[in-house]
Each structure stands twice: as structure tokens, then as C-alpha cells.
Copies of this chain bind each other. A is one copy, B any other.
Amino acid sequence: MASTKSPVVDIHTHVYPPSYIELLKSRSSIPYIRSFPPSPALRLVILPAEDTESTSRGRPVGPEYYDINKKIDFMDTHSIDISVISLANPWLDWVPAAEAARAAENLNNEVNEECGKFPGRLFAFGTLPLSGGKEVIVKEITRLKELKYMRGVILGTTGLGKGLDDPELIPIFQALQDTKLPIFLHPHYGLPGSVWGDRASDYGHVLPLALGFPLETTIAVTRMILSGVFERIPELQMILAHSGGTLPFLAGRIESCIEHDTHLKAEGKLEKGRKTVWDILKKNIYLDAVIYGEIGLRAAIQASGEDRVMFGTDHPFFPPLDEGEKWLSVETIYEAIKGALGSGSEDAKGALGGNAVKILHLAV
């Protein structure tokens, strides 16, 4: 159905499959899930800063996080034809090394099977056993390629513990290039708490969520660029969450700072063959449209290309503001696409789904 009917495809939409919920429930240190009596409701605690008695710990985890039927309901309510689901953070970053291979295999099989329950409507990005070592990771990449509904991998910014500019990651990036599986780069760790100041808690979760996440993504991908990953792995494909964090806006400044840097010049890293940030945005990077506004979305489209930006929702985060309403986040992103590309235009159809169908090969 995909390519003829101008489908709407959501490439940024998360799940915690039931087995992952069980895994987190069995734990007592972060990340973990438990209830806090007297309320029987389950809450997910993933960051050190939220694991305290004094604040409302973590966030509620309802069936919209783990029941795949709720995902389909959400899609139907919002006219979404296809979703490319991914595990939400903190993925398997925290799993003991010896358990990593098994955990990833079980999880990815389970997600693949859930996709199979709604053929043509669900695809997925797999999760890598990052703590398991290079061989385990590369083996899982090869295996993911063979799973029917897998179309890439979701990745946080820590890599093997030293960030994504770690040379130890090169064989993993190479395996992703060889299998043509794109990386969906997604933030989790934010920035050190000190940057938000003494009054941060007065502002709820706004600062770490609104700024920490996109800044984390921007730093991670800029470190990759500076370390030369895109020269060494020239066909590596990256899909950046939240329209690249802030990369489309800052690309010019990054380029100016690179060109003027005396250290990079002395090291001979500014020779003509260098791929610029602009080159990488057009050649290696895709962006989701999760930027909640027309101005940011236009910058994303201009930076990466109208054929490289893809609709997403970040469901099930950012629930409706009031009972019974549609999801504001979804409506805002729909409006931004219409505003930036024109309602019903070919470019709008591309951003809403056509691009994702082509880039992620979503026909079944």
C-alpha cells in the first residue's frame, strides 16, 4: 500500500516491549520500574537526578508504553499508516556484558514478532548489545539484517562508554554500512545538572528535556564529524532525532570554527578533501521532523534536503494536554510540515511518509 497511497509514516515512536518492562521491574537501581505506594501505578526511573525521595520519581508507565495494540490505536487516531518503532532509552546500555547478547537477541526478536502481528503497518529499529563487546555487537547487526521488519538500529550517544568519536566503534559503523542499516541517533543522558542552575527544579523537566536532549545529540554527532567517521565510513547513514538537535542551525558556525582552528590546520586536517558539515548533512544524515515548529523544520529541510526529512511523533512521550484530546505534539508537527512545505504538496507527502518508505524500504 505504501508507495501508491501517500502513506503517513512515523519514524520516531517508542515502545518498551513486555520483556523489557519485566527486566526493569526486576531491578532496584536505575534504570528500574516499580510502584510507589499508596499508588499502584508503575513508574519508570531512568536518570540519577530523578531517583530521589524529594521529587516525583521518574514518570508513569502505562500500557501505551508496552501494549502494541495501543500503538495501533494511536496510529489510527492520528492517521498514521506505518510506524517504525524503537525501544525508548536507556536501551541496553546498562546490561552486564555477559547478558548483553542474549538480551538484545530476545528483545529484537520480540519487537520483530510484534511488527509481524500488523504486517505492513509496523517496522522497527533494533537495539544493539553495546556492553557485549565488538564481536557480539557486529554479530547482532548481521542478525538484525535478516529479521523481516528491522530497518536500522537505535543508538544513544555513549557508544561503548566513550562517546561516538571512539575509534573502537569503527568496526561497528563499518558493519552498519555493509548491511545498509541506518543509525537512529537518540539522546538520553542530557547535560551535567550544573548547567541548569539552582532554580532548575522550579521549571519541572523543561530544561533537561527541551535543551539537554537536543544539545546532547548535537555534541555527539559533531564529535563524530570531527573525528573523521564520515570520511572513514563514507556511506554510513544517520537519522538524527529531534531534527538533528541543533545541527541545522549551528552547521555554519561549526564550519567557521573548523576553518579557523589553528590546531586542526597544524595537524593537516583541513585539506581540501574534507567533508564539510554541509556535505555530511546532505549525504549521510537524515532528520526526523520532531521539532515542533515551522521555523525549525524549514531549517532542517534546507540543511538536509526535502527528500531527507521524515515525520515522527515521539509517542508515547508528550501525552495530550487534556483528556480526550489529540496529541498536541503530533498536531504541531503536522502543522509545521504543512506550513513549511505546503498542504498536499509532493514535498509534504514526502516528509509525511514518502521519504521514509524510500529510505527505509518499507514496502512489504
Contacts and interface: CB of A to CB of B under 8 A. Distances in A.
Interface of A: 56, 162-163, 165-166, 191-192, 194-199, 201-207, 209-211, 214-215, 218-219, 222-223, 226-227, 242-243, 246, 248-264, 291-296, 298-299, 302-303, 318-319, 321, 328-329, 332, 336
A254 B211 contact: yes
Given A199-B165, A299-B299, A223 B194 contact: no
Contacts of A260: 318-319, 321, 328-329
A257 B206 contact: yes
A249 B291 contact: yes
Contact of A253 (B56, B205, B214, B253): B214
A255 B262 CA distance: 39
Contact of A263 (B196, B205, B258, B298): B205
Contacts of A218: 211, 215
A248 B219 CA distance: 18
Nearest to A206: B257
A254 B215 CA distance: 13
Given A207-B222, A298-B302, 15 more contacts: A163-B198, A191-B191, A192-B194, A202-B227, A204-B262, A205-B261, A210-B222, A210-B257, A211-B219, A246-B250, A248-B295, A249-B295, A252-B291, A259-B321, A260-B319
A255 B205 contact: no
Contact of A223 (B165, B196, B249, B328): B196
A219 B246 contact: no
Contacts of A261: 203-206
Contacts of A296: 248-253, 299
Contact of A199 (B56, B227, B263): B227
Given A195-B191, A195-B192, A210-B222, A256 B205 contact: no
A13 to B, nearest CB: 16
Chain B CB within 10 A, most for which of A198, A211, A251: A211
Nearest to A255: B292
A256 B295 contact: no
A219 to B, nearest CB: 6
